[in-house]
A and B are shown apart, each in its own frame.
Chain A
Protein backbone atom coordinates (compact mmCIF):
# COMPACT_ATOMS: atom_id res chain seq x y z
CA UNK A 1 0.00 0.00 0.00
CA UNK A 2 2.98 2.29 0.68
CA UNK A 3 5.95 2.09 -1.66
CA UNK A 4 9.29 3.84 -1.41
CA UNK A 5 11.37 3.61 -4.57
CA UNK A 6 15.00 4.81 -4.65
CA UNK A 7 14.29 7.51 -2.10
CA UNK A 8 17.10 9.90 -1.24
CA UNK A 9 16.49 12.13 1.73
CA UNK A 10 18.14 13.72 4.75
CA UNK A 11 18.54 16.76 6.94
CA UNK A 12 19.61 19.81 4.94
CA UNK A 13 22.98 19.05 3.39
CA UNK A 14 23.37 15.78 5.27
CA UNK A 15 21.98 12.92 3.23
CA UNK A 16 20.78 9.96 5.31
CA UNK A 17 18.75 7.80 2.92
CA UNK A 18 20.55 6.48 -0.15
CA UNK A 19 18.12 4.83 -2.55
CA UNK A 20 15.70 3.49 0.05
CA UNK A 21 13.36 0.82 -1.35
CA UNK A 22 10.72 -0.51 0.98
CA UNK A 23 7.09 -1.63 0.71
CA UNK A 24 4.42 -1.82 3.37
CA UNK A 25 1.60 -4.17 2.43
CA UNK A 26 -2.10 -3.70 3.13
CA UNK A 27 -3.26 -5.27 6.39
CA UNK A 28 0.25 -6.25 7.46
CA UNK A 29 2.81 -5.00 9.94
CA UNK A 30 6.20 -4.00 8.56
CA UNK A 31 9.05 -3.65 11.05
CA UNK A 32 12.00 -1.53 10.04
CA UNK A 33 15.04 -2.57 12.06
CA UNK A 34 18.61 -1.39 12.14
CA UNK A 35 21.27 0.19 14.30
CA UNK A 36 21.21 3.77 15.56
CA UNK A 37 21.72 6.23 12.74
CA UNK A 38 20.86 3.69 10.04
CA UNK A 39 18.03 5.88 8.72
CA UNK A 40 14.93 4.32 10.31
CA UNK A 41 13.42 7.47 11.78
CA UNK A 42 14.53 9.42 8.72
CA UNK A 43 12.50 7.03 6.58
CA UNK A 44 9.38 7.71 8.64
CA UNK A 45 9.93 11.47 8.64
CA UNK A 46 10.36 11.40 4.88
CA UNK A 47 7.10 9.45 4.50
CA UNK A 48 5.32 12.09 6.61
CA UNK A 49 6.75 14.91 4.50
CA UNK A 50 8.67 16.30 7.47
CA UNK A 51 11.87 15.88 5.47
CA UNK A 52 11.96 16.58 1.74
CA UNK A 53 12.37 13.72 -0.72
CA UNK A 54 15.38 14.75 -2.79
CA UNK A 55 14.78 12.10 -5.42
CA UNK A 56 12.85 8.87 -5.80
CA UNK A 57 9.14 8.31 -5.35
CA UNK A 58 6.80 7.49 -2.52
CA UNK A 59 3.37 6.17 -3.50
CA UNK A 60 0.42 5.48 -1.24
CA UNK A 61 -2.25 3.24 -2.75
CA UNK A 62 -0.58 3.71 -6.13
CA UNK A 63 -0.73 7.50 -6.04
CA UNK A 64 2.33 9.68 -5.46
CA UNK A 65 2.20 11.02 -1.95
CA UNK A 66 1.43 14.72 -1.63
CA UNK A 67 4.30 16.83 -0.38
CA UNK A 68 3.08 18.52 2.78
CA UNK A 69 2.62 16.77 6.14
CA UNK A 70 -0.99 17.83 6.54
CA UNK A 71 -1.96 16.50 3.09
CA UNK A 72 -0.20 13.24 3.87
CA UNK A 73 -2.01 12.99 7.21
CA UNK A 74 -5.31 13.65 5.46
CA UNK A 75 -4.62 10.95 2.91
CA UNK A 76 -4.78 8.44 5.77
CA UNK A 77 -1.34 8.06 7.35
CA UNK A 78 -1.06 8.62 11.11
CA UNK A 79 2.28 9.14 12.80
CA UNK A 80 3.40 8.32 16.34
CA UNK A 81 6.79 10.03 16.63
CA UNK A 82 9.68 8.85 18.72
CA UNK A 83 9.30 11.89 20.97
CA UNK A 84 5.52 11.27 21.28
CA UNK A 85 4.96 15.00 20.77
CA UNK A 86 2.05 15.46 23.10
CA UNK A 87 0.91 19.10 22.99
CA UNK A 88 1.79 20.45 26.44
CA UNK A 89 -0.71 23.34 26.29
CA UNK A 90 -3.58 20.97 25.60
CA UNK A 91 -5.32 18.68 28.04
CA UNK A 92 -5.43 14.94 27.37
CA UNK A 93 -8.98 15.38 26.12
CA UNK A 94 -7.98 18.21 23.76
CA UNK A 95 -5.02 16.21 22.49
CA UNK A 96 -7.46 13.46 21.52
CA UNK A 97 -10.23 15.71 20.25
CA UNK A 98 -7.90 17.57 17.92
CA UNK A 99 -7.75 14.32 15.94
CA UNK A 100 -11.19 12.92 16.73
CA UNK A 101 -13.22 15.96 15.76
CA UNK A 102 -11.63 16.36 12.37
CA UNK A 103 -11.32 12.74 11.30
CA UNK A 104 -14.71 11.24 11.94
CA UNK A 105 -14.42 7.70 10.62
CA UNK A 106 -16.82 5.16 9.26
CA UNK A 107 -19.50 3.68 11.52
CA UNK A 108 -17.11 1.22 13.13
CA UNK A 109 -14.24 3.75 13.13
CA UNK A 110 -12.34 5.11 16.08
CA UNK A 111 -14.20 7.28 18.56
CA UNK A 112 -13.18 8.83 21.87
CA UNK A 113 -15.00 6.01 23.69
CA UNK A 114 -13.21 3.33 21.75
CA UNK A 115 -9.83 4.99 22.27
CA UNK A 116 -10.46 5.15 26.01
CA UNK A 117 -11.58 1.50 25.99
CA UNK A 118 -8.23 0.65 24.47
CA UNK A 119 -6.31 2.74 27.02
CA UNK A 120 -8.49 3.09 30.13
CA UNK A 121 -5.65 4.94 31.88
CA UNK A 122 -6.22 7.90 29.57
CA UNK A 123 -9.87 8.01 30.58
CA UNK A 124 -8.81 8.73 34.17
CA UNK A 125 -6.58 11.59 33.11
CA UNK A 126 -8.75 13.41 30.56
CA UNK A 127 -8.48 16.81 32.24
CA UNK A 128 -4.77 16.59 32.99
CA UNK A 129 -2.34 18.69 31.01
CA UNK A 130 -0.37 16.88 28.34
CA UNK A 131 2.86 17.24 30.30
CA UNK A 132 1.52 15.82 33.56
CA UNK A 133 1.56 12.32 32.09
CA UNK A 134 4.19 9.64 32.64
CA UNK A 135 6.22 8.47 29.66
CA UNK A 136 4.00 5.42 29.23
CA UNK A 137 0.84 7.49 29.38
CA UNK A 138 2.26 9.89 26.83
CA UNK A 139 2.93 6.97 24.52
CA UNK A 140 -0.64 5.71 24.98
CA UNK A 141 -1.94 9.20 24.26
CA UNK A 142 0.20 9.53 21.17
CA UNK A 143 -1.06 6.18 19.84
CA UNK A 144 -4.69 6.93 20.75
CA UNK A 145 -4.45 10.34 19.07
CA UNK A 146 -3.09 8.73 15.91
CA UNK A 147 -5.85 6.11 15.90
CA UNK A 148 -8.51 8.80 16.21
CA UNK A 149 -7.40 10.02 12.80
CA UNK A 150 -8.93 6.76 11.57
CA UNK A 151 -5.83 6.08 9.52
CA UNK A 152 -5.40 3.43 6.86
CA UNK A 153 -1.73 3.20 7.78
CA UNK A 154 -0.27 3.75 11.25
CA UNK A 155 3.44 4.43 11.55
CA UNK A 156 5.16 4.19 14.91
CA UNK A 157 8.70 5.32 15.73
CA UNK A 158 10.23 3.41 18.65
CA UNK A 159 7.06 3.08 20.72
CA UNK A 160 8.87 1.21 23.53
CA UNK A 161 11.79 3.57 23.97
CA UNK A 162 12.41 4.46 27.61
CA UNK A 163 9.35 2.62 28.92
CA UNK A 164 9.15 0.19 31.85
CA UNK A 165 8.82 -3.49 30.86
CA UNK A 166 5.24 -3.68 32.10
CA UNK A 167 4.26 -0.75 29.87
CA UNK A 168 6.15 -2.25 26.93
CA UNK A 169 4.08 -5.40 27.44
CA UNK A 170 0.88 -3.34 27.52
CA UNK A 171 1.78 -1.42 24.35
CA UNK A 172 2.67 -4.74 22.71
CA UNK A 173 -0.73 -6.24 23.56
CA UNK A 174 -2.58 -3.18 22.29
CA UNK A 175 -0.67 -3.18 19.00
CA UNK A 176 -1.40 -6.90 18.72
CA UNK A 177 -5.10 -6.07 19.07
CA UNK A 178 -4.81 -3.49 16.29
CA UNK A 179 -2.98 -6.00 14.13
CA UNK A 180 -5.78 -8.53 14.68
CA UNK A 181 -8.15 -5.88 13.31
CA UNK A 182 -5.87 -5.85 10.26
CA UNK A 183 -4.71 -2.26 10.62
CA UNK A 184 -1.70 -1.69 8.35
CA UNK A 185 1.34 -0.58 10.35
CA UNK A 186 4.97 0.38 9.95
CA UNK A 187 6.98 -0.07 13.12
CA UNK A 188 10.49 1.23 13.71
CA UNK A 189 12.07 -0.44 16.73
CA UNK A 190 15.33 -1.08 18.55
CA UNK A 191 13.65 -3.78 20.64
CA UNK A 192 14.17 -6.84 18.43
CA UNK A 193 11.88 -9.19 20.36
CA UNK A 194 9.07 -6.65 20.52
CA UNK A 195 9.31 -5.86 16.82
CA UNK A 196 9.58 -9.38 15.46
CA UNK A 197 6.74 -10.71 17.60
CA UNK A 198 4.42 -8.07 16.12
CA UNK A 199 5.66 -7.84 12.56
CA UNK A 200 4.72 -9.87 9.50
CA UNK A 201 7.44 -8.39 7.30
CA UNK A 202 10.85 -7.10 8.27
CA UNK A 203 13.21 -4.74 6.49
CA UNK A 204 16.67 -4.19 7.94
CA UNK A 205 18.26 -0.84 7.21
CA UNK A 206 21.91 0.12 7.23
CA UNK A 207 23.51 3.33 5.99
CA UNK A 208 20.27 4.54 4.47
CA UNK A 209 19.48 1.42 2.46
CA UNK A 210 17.55 -1.79 2.95
CA UNK A 211 20.11 -4.57 3.36
CA UNK A 212 17.83 -7.44 4.34
CA UNK A 213 14.21 -8.23 3.55
CA UNK A 214 12.05 -11.11 4.70
CA UNK A 215 9.51 -12.27 7.21
CA UNK A 216 9.66 -12.00 10.98
CA UNK A 217 10.27 -15.75 11.51
CA UNK A 218 13.05 -15.60 8.93
CA UNK A 219 14.97 -12.84 10.68
CA UNK A 220 14.53 -14.59 14.02
CA UNK A 221 16.08 -17.71 12.48
CA UNK A 222 18.86 -15.85 10.67
CA UNK A 223 21.52 -15.40 13.33
CA UNK A 224 24.09 -14.25 10.78
CA UNK A 225 21.91 -11.36 9.57
CA UNK A 226 21.12 -10.40 13.16
CA UNK A 227 24.81 -10.42 14.00
CA UNK A 228 25.81 -8.46 10.93
CA UNK A 229 23.13 -5.77 10.82
CA UNK A 230 21.65 -5.56 14.28
CA UNK A 231 24.38 -6.70 16.61
CA UNK A 232 22.02 -8.73 18.77
Chain B
Protein backbone atom coordinates (compact mmCIF):
# COMPACT_ATOMS: atom_id res chain seq x y z
CA UNK B 1 0.00 0.00 0.00
CA UNK B 2 1.50 3.29 -1.07
CA UNK B 3 1.07 5.65 1.79
CA UNK B 4 1.74 9.20 0.75
CA UNK B 5 0.38 12.67 1.28
CA UNK B 6 -2.40 12.16 -1.26
CA UNK B 7 -3.57 9.07 0.58
CA UNK B 8 -3.70 10.91 3.89
CA UNK B 9 -5.52 13.88 2.40
CA UNK B 10 -8.05 11.62 0.74
CA UNK B 11 -8.73 9.62 3.87
CA UNK B 12 -8.87 12.76 5.99
CA UNK B 13 -11.53 14.13 3.66
CA UNK B 14 -13.45 10.86 3.83
CA UNK B 15 -13.29 10.97 7.61
CA UNK B 16 -14.41 14.59 7.63
CA UNK B 17 -17.32 13.87 5.32
CA UNK B 18 -18.53 10.99 7.49
CA UNK B 19 -18.07 13.15 10.58
CA UNK B 20 -20.19 15.95 9.16
CA UNK B 21 -23.02 13.59 8.34
CA UNK B 22 -22.91 12.16 11.86
CA UNK B 23 -22.70 15.66 13.27
CA UNK B 24 -25.96 16.69 11.55
CA UNK B 25 -27.63 13.71 13.15
CA UNK B 26 -26.08 13.75 16.58
CA UNK B 27 -26.45 17.45 17.34
CA UNK B 28 -30.24 17.30 17.27
CA UNK B 29 -30.37 14.12 19.32
CA UNK B 30 -27.87 15.29 21.91
CA UNK B 31 -29.51 18.68 22.52
CA UNK B 32 -32.96 17.07 22.71
CA UNK B 33 -31.61 14.64 25.27
CA UNK B 34 -29.71 17.32 27.17
CA UNK B 35 -32.62 19.73 27.28
CA UNK B 36 -35.40 17.37 28.22
CA UNK B 37 -33.74 14.07 29.15
CA UNK B 38 -35.80 12.56 26.39
CA UNK B 39 -34.39 9.53 24.59
CA UNK B 40 -35.56 9.61 20.98
CA UNK B 41 -34.29 6.44 19.33
CA UNK B 42 -36.46 7.19 16.30
CA UNK B 43 -34.03 9.95 15.32
CA UNK B 44 -32.35 7.57 12.85
CA UNK B 45 -35.72 6.74 11.31
CA UNK B 46 -36.21 10.47 10.68
CA UNK B 47 -32.91 10.46 8.81
CA UNK B 48 -34.20 7.63 6.62
CA UNK B 49 -37.42 9.56 6.05
CA UNK B 50 -35.36 12.57 4.98
CA UNK B 51 -33.65 10.42 2.37
CA UNK B 52 -36.96 9.04 1.10
CA UNK B 53 -38.62 12.43 0.97
CA UNK B 54 -35.59 13.77 -0.89
CA UNK B 55 -35.58 10.95 -3.44
CA UNK B 56 -39.31 11.38 -3.95
CA UNK B 57 -39.24 15.18 -4.19
CA UNK B 58 -36.23 15.14 -6.52
CA UNK B 59 -38.28 13.19 -9.03
CA UNK B 60 -40.60 16.20 -9.29
CA UNK B 61 -38.40 19.21 -8.76
CA UNK B 62 -34.80 18.12 -8.87
CA UNK B 63 -32.15 17.87 -6.18
CA UNK B 64 -32.25 21.40 -4.83
CA UNK B 65 -35.98 21.36 -4.23
CA UNK B 66 -35.51 18.06 -2.40
CA UNK B 67 -32.58 19.49 -0.45
CA UNK B 68 -34.71 22.39 0.75
CA UNK B 69 -38.03 20.65 1.32
CA UNK B 70 -36.99 17.27 2.76
CA UNK B 71 -35.82 18.83 6.06
CA UNK B 72 -39.06 20.83 6.25
CA UNK B 73 -41.11 17.68 5.62
CA UNK B 74 -39.20 15.78 8.31
CA UNK B 75 -39.70 18.67 10.73
CA UNK B 76 -43.40 18.32 9.92
CA UNK B 77 -43.25 14.65 10.89
CA UNK B 78 -41.47 15.84 14.04
CA UNK B 79 -44.41 18.13 14.86
CA UNK B 80 -46.78 15.16 14.51
CA UNK B 81 -44.57 12.92 16.64
CA UNK B 82 -44.26 15.61 19.27
CA UNK B 83 -47.93 16.41 19.61
CA UNK B 84 -49.05 12.80 19.22
CA UNK B 85 -46.56 10.96 21.39
CA UNK B 86 -43.63 12.78 22.87
CA UNK B 87 -45.54 15.52 24.66
CA UNK B 88 -47.54 12.88 26.50
CA UNK B 89 -44.46 10.85 27.34
CA UNK B 90 -42.34 13.61 28.82
CA UNK B 91 -42.82 12.42 32.39
CA UNK B 92 -43.02 8.71 31.75
CA UNK B 93 -39.38 7.86 32.41
CA UNK B 94 -36.57 6.66 30.15
CA UNK B 95 -37.65 3.02 29.90
CA UNK B 96 -41.04 3.83 28.41
CA UNK B 97 -39.48 6.46 26.14
CA UNK B 98 -36.87 4.03 24.84
CA UNK B 99 -39.49 1.36 24.20
CA UNK B 100 -41.91 3.66 22.42
CA UNK B 101 -39.31 5.39 20.25
CA UNK B 102 -37.69 2.01 19.53
CA UNK B 103 -41.07 0.74 18.38
CA UNK B 104 -41.44 3.89 16.33
CA UNK B 105 -38.33 2.91 14.36
CA UNK B 106 -40.06 -0.22 13.10
CA UNK B 107 -43.36 1.54 12.50
CA UNK B 108 -41.63 4.18 10.38
CA UNK B 109 -39.53 1.52 8.68
CA UNK B 110 -42.62 -0.39 7.61
CA UNK B 111 -44.38 2.80 6.57
CA UNK B 112 -41.51 3.60 4.20
CA UNK B 113 -41.78 0.03 2.88
CA UNK B 114 -45.50 0.43 2.26
CA UNK B 115 -45.08 3.75 0.46
CA UNK B 116 -41.87 3.19 -1.42
CA UNK B 117 -41.39 -0.57 -1.51
CA UNK B 118 -38.27 -2.61 -0.74
CA UNK B 119 -36.24 -1.58 -3.74
CA UNK B 120 -33.57 1.00 -3.03
CA UNK B 121 -34.47 4.48 -4.15
CA UNK B 122 -31.95 6.54 -6.04
CA UNK B 123 -31.22 10.21 -5.74
CA UNK B 124 -28.61 11.64 -8.08
CA UNK B 125 -26.35 14.45 -7.04
CA UNK B 126 -27.09 17.62 -9.03
CA UNK B 127 -25.05 18.17 -12.17
CA UNK B 128 -23.10 21.06 -10.71
CA UNK B 129 -21.85 18.85 -7.83
CA UNK B 130 -21.42 15.70 -9.87
CA UNK B 131 -17.79 16.08 -10.93
CA UNK B 132 -14.51 15.85 -9.13
CA UNK B 133 -12.38 18.59 -7.71
CA UNK B 134 -8.61 18.50 -8.11
CA UNK B 135 -6.50 19.95 -5.31
CA UNK B 136 -3.31 19.09 -3.39
CA UNK B 137 -2.53 16.58 -6.10
CA UNK B 138 -5.65 14.55 -5.53
CA UNK B 139 -9.08 14.35 -7.05
CA UNK B 140 -12.09 14.29 -4.79
CA UNK B 141 -15.81 14.06 -5.59
CA UNK B 142 -17.35 17.54 -5.52
CA UNK B 143 -20.46 16.21 -3.82
CA UNK B 144 -18.48 15.00 -0.82
CA UNK B 145 -16.79 18.36 -0.55
CA UNK B 146 -20.28 19.86 -0.58
CA UNK B 147 -21.28 17.71 2.41
CA UNK B 148 -18.18 18.80 4.33
CA UNK B 149 -18.87 22.46 3.58
CA UNK B 150 -22.54 22.04 4.49
CA UNK B 151 -21.61 20.43 7.80
CA UNK B 152 -19.20 23.26 8.59
CA UNK B 153 -21.83 25.87 7.71
CA UNK B 154 -24.41 24.19 9.97
CA UNK B 155 -21.78 23.90 12.71
CA UNK B 156 -20.96 27.61 12.43
CA UNK B 157 -24.63 28.59 12.40
CA UNK B 158 -25.42 26.44 15.45
CA UNK B 159 -22.32 27.66 17.30
CA UNK B 160 -23.47 31.22 16.66
CA UNK B 161 -27.07 30.64 17.71
CA UNK B 162 -26.20 28.57 20.78
CA UNK B 163 -23.24 30.67 21.85
CA UNK B 164 -24.13 34.23 20.97
CA UNK B 165 -27.89 34.72 20.95
CA UNK B 166 -30.53 35.04 23.62
CA UNK B 167 -32.35 31.91 22.49
CA UNK B 168 -29.06 30.02 22.58
CA UNK B 169 -28.46 31.16 26.16
CA UNK B 170 -31.99 30.03 27.01
CA UNK B 171 -31.32 26.59 25.51
CA UNK B 172 -28.04 26.25 27.43
CA UNK B 173 -29.77 27.37 30.61
CA UNK B 174 -32.50 24.78 30.00
CA UNK B 175 -29.89 22.04 29.50
CA UNK B 176 -28.07 23.11 32.70
CA UNK B 177 -31.14 23.28 34.92
CA UNK B 178 -34.61 23.18 33.41
CA UNK B 179 -36.41 23.87 36.70
CA UNK B 180 -34.44 27.05 37.35
CA UNK B 181 -34.83 28.14 33.73
CA UNK B 182 -38.59 27.81 34.16
CA UNK B 183 -38.41 29.90 37.35
CA UNK B 184 -36.87 32.65 35.23
CA UNK B 185 -39.97 32.69 33.07
CA UNK B 186 -38.59 30.54 30.26
CA UNK B 187 -41.20 28.28 28.69
CA UNK B 188 -38.91 25.27 28.60
CA UNK B 189 -41.58 23.06 27.03
CA UNK B 190 -41.98 25.42 24.06
CA UNK B 191 -38.22 25.74 23.78
CA UNK B 192 -37.97 21.95 23.70
CA UNK B 193 -40.59 21.79 20.95
CA UNK B 194 -38.60 24.24 18.81
CA UNK B 195 -35.33 22.40 19.46
CA UNK B 196 -37.01 19.09 18.70
CA UNK B 197 -38.27 20.38 15.35
CA UNK B 198 -34.88 21.82 14.42
CA UNK B 199 -33.27 18.51 15.42
CA UNK B 200 -35.73 16.64 13.19
CA UNK B 201 -35.05 19.03 10.31
CA UNK B 202 -31.30 18.45 10.67
CA UNK B 203 -31.85 14.66 10.68
CA UNK B 204 -33.92 15.11 7.52
CA UNK B 205 -31.17 17.26 6.01
CA UNK B 206 -28.60 14.56 6.83
CA UNK B 207 -30.79 11.97 5.14
CA UNK B 208 -31.31 14.15 2.09
CA UNK B 209 -27.61 14.84 1.56
CA UNK B 210 -26.63 11.25 2.33
CA UNK B 211 -29.08 9.88 -0.23
CA UNK B 212 -26.88 10.43 -3.32
CA UNK B 213 -23.98 8.65 -1.58
CA UNK B 214 -25.83 5.52 -0.62
CA UNK B 215 -28.85 3.67 -1.83
CA UNK B 216 -31.96 4.74 0.01
CA UNK B 217 -33.32 1.71 1.85
CA UNK B 218 -35.73 1.31 4.77
CA UNK B 219 -32.88 0.02 6.97
CA UNK B 220 -30.65 3.05 6.59
CA UNK B 221 -32.17 4.63 9.70
CA UNK B 222 -31.29 1.63 11.83
CA UNK B 223 -27.77 1.45 10.40
CA UNK B 224 -27.01 5.06 11.32
CA UNK B 225 -28.55 4.90 14.80
CA UNK B 226 -25.70 3.02 16.49
CA UNK B 227 -22.94 5.31 15.13
CA UNK B 228 -25.01 8.33 16.18
CA UNK B 229 -25.44 6.99 19.71
CA UNK B 230 -21.71 6.20 19.89
CA UNK B 231 -20.94 9.78 18.85
CA UNK B 232 -23.16 11.13 21.60
CA UNK B 233 -21.78 8.84 24.29
CA UNK B 234 -18.16 9.63 23.35
CA UNK B 235 -18.80 13.35 22.98
CA UNK B 236 -20.93 13.79 26.08
CA UNK B 237 -24.59 14.64 26.32
CA UNK B 238 -26.17 17.93 25.49
CA UNK B 239 -23.32 19.95 24.06
CA UNK B 240 -22.41 21.17 20.59
CA UNK B 241 -18.74 20.65 21.40
CA UNK B 242 -19.44 17.04 22.37
CA UNK B 243 -21.39 16.37 19.17
CA UNK B 244 -18.65 17.74 16.91
CA UNK B 245 -15.83 16.09 18.89
CA UNK B 246 -17.64 12.74 18.95
CA UNK B 247 -18.40 12.96 15.23
CA UNK B 248 -14.78 13.76 14.33
CA UNK B 249 -13.47 10.94 16.51
CA UNK B 250 -15.91 8.46 15.02
CA UNK B 251 -15.20 9.62 11.47
CA UNK B 252 -11.42 9.43 11.89
CA UNK B 253 -11.35 6.11 13.74
CA UNK B 254 -13.80 4.48 11.36
CA UNK B 255 -12.19 5.76 8.16
CA UNK B 256 -8.53 5.30 9.08
CA UNK B 257 -9.30 2.08 10.93
CA UNK B 258 -10.80 0.61 7.78
CA UNK B 259 -7.72 1.35 5.65
CA UNK B 260 -4.88 0.99 8.15
CA UNK B 261 -6.09 -1.93 10.23
CA UNK B 262 -8.98 -3.54 8.36
CA UNK B 263 -8.99 -6.60 10.60
CA UNK B 264 -9.52 -4.37 13.66
CA UNK B 265 -11.77 -1.77 12.08
CA UNK B 266 -15.08 -3.11 13.27
CA UNK B 267 -14.04 -3.39 16.92
CA UNK B 268 -11.87 -0.28 17.09
CA UNK B 269 -14.69 2.19 17.63
CA UNK B 270 -16.34 -0.01 20.23
CA UNK B 271 -13.04 -0.38 22.05
CA UNK B 272 -12.75 3.40 22.05
CA UNK B 273 -16.32 3.70 23.29
CA UNK B 274 -15.56 1.29 26.13
CA UNK B 275 -12.39 3.22 26.98
CA UNK B 276 -14.30 6.51 27.14
CA UNK B 277 -16.95 4.93 29.34
CA UNK B 278 -14.28 3.66 31.72
CA UNK B 279 -12.15 6.80 31.85
CA UNK B 280 -14.78 9.50 31.48
CA UNK B 281 -18.27 7.99 31.80
CA UNK B 282 -20.04 11.28 31.05
CA UNK B 283 -18.23 11.64 27.70
CA UNK B 284 -15.57 14.12 26.65
CA UNK B 285 -17.55 17.38 26.71
CA UNK B 286 -20.83 16.88 28.54
CA UNK B 287 -23.04 19.96 28.94
CA UNK B 288 -23.26 19.29 32.65
CA UNK B 289 -19.75 19.17 34.00
Give the contact-size bracket for chain B.
20 to 34
Residues of A within 8 A of B22 (CB): none
With both chains docked as a complex, state the minimum distance between the C-beta of B184 and any C-beta of chain A, in angstroms.
Answer: 6
Q: Is the CB of A73 within 8 A of B166?
A: no
With both chains docked as a complex, state the minimum distance between the C-beta of B156 and any C-beta of chain A, in angstroms.
Answer: 19
Residues of B within 8 A of A78 (CB): 183
Q: Is the CB of B173 within 8 A of A87?
A: yes
Q: A50-B179, A81-B180, A101-B166 are in contact. Are A87 and B172 (CB under 8 A)?
A: yes
Q: In the complex, A42→B61 CA distance in Å?
A: 59
Which of B45-53, B108-116, B185-193, B214-222 is near enough to bind chain A? B185-193
Does A89 reach chain B (CB closer than 8 Å)? yes
In the complex, which residues 45-70 of chain A have their Cβ closer than 8 Å to any Cβ of chain B?
48-50, 68-70
CB nearest to A88 among chain B residues: B176
Q: A97-B166, A98-B169, A101-B166 are in contact. Are A87 and B176 (CB under 8 A)?
A: yes
B interface residue numbers (CB < 8 A to A): 166, 169-170, 172-173, 175-177, 179-188, 287-289
Q: Is the CB of A131 within 8 A of B289?
A: yes
CB nearest to B177 among chain A residues: A85
Residues of A within 8 A of B182 (CB): 49-50, 68-70, 73
Q: A50-B179, A87-B180, A88-B288 are in contact. Are A149 and B173 (CB under 8 A)?
A: no
Q: A87-B172, A88-B289 are in contact. Are A98 and B184 (CB under 8 A)?
A: yes
In the complex, which residues 131-149 of chain A have their Cβ closer than 8 Å to any Cβ of chain B?
131, 145, 149
Q: B169, B180, B185: which contacts A103 (Cβ < 8 A)?
A: B185
Other A-B pairs, 8, CB within 8 Å; known A90-B169, A90-B172: A48-B183, A50-B182, A72-B183, A97-B166, A97-B169, A98-B166, A99-B185, A101-B166
Q: In the complex, A87→B186 CA distance in Å?
A: 13
Interface size on A, residues (CB 8 A): 27
Q: Is the CB of B183 within 8 A of A79?
A: yes
Q: A50, A74, A85, A94: which contacts B185 (Cβ < 8 A)?
A: A74
Residues of B within 8 A of A87 (CB): 172-173, 176-177, 180-181
Does A114 reach chain B (CB closer than 8 Å)? no
With both chains docked as a complex, state the minimum distance between the C-beta of A95 and any C-beta of chain B, in angstroms.
Answer: 8
Residues of B within 8 A of A89 (CB): 172-173, 175-176, 287
Q: In the complex, A90→B288 CA distance in Å?
A: 12
Q: Is the CB of B176 within 8 A of A73?
A: no
**Pairs A–B under 8 Å by Cβ, sample size 17:** A48-B183, A50-B182, A69-B182, A70-B186, A70-B187, A72-B183, A73-B184, A79-B183, A81-B183, A85-B179, A87-B181, A89-B172, A97-B169, A98-B169, A98-B184, A101-B166, A102-B184
Q: A89-B287, A97-B166, A131-B289 are in contact. Are A69 and B173 (CB under 8 A)?
A: no
